[in-house]
Amino acid sequence: MKLTPAQVEEARARAAAAGRRYPNLVDNMYVAAKARREGVAEKPAGDDAE
């Protein structure tokens, strides 16, 4: 899943608050998982046939 610009900013802010460099896997994965939990994840391509 590719992060949206808003998600990148959220991950960047989270990394800065924790004193980590960005980009990093920890913050990217947290933001991506949060988006999936909240139902913001992108629909997979080719799923419109149903």
pTM: 0.73
Query: How much is the average pLDDT of 4-28?
Result: 97
Query: How much is the average pLDDT of 9-37?
Result: 96
CA distances from 42 to 15, 35, 48 (A): 24, 9, 13
In this structure, what are the phi and psi dihedrals at residue 10, rounded to the nearest 5 degrees?
-65, -45
The pLDDT value recorded for residue 20 is: 96
**What's the DSSP call for residue 13?**
H
Residue 29 CB neighbours (<10 A): 12
> Coil, helix or strand for 1?
coil
Helix (H) or strand (E) holding 12: helix 5-18
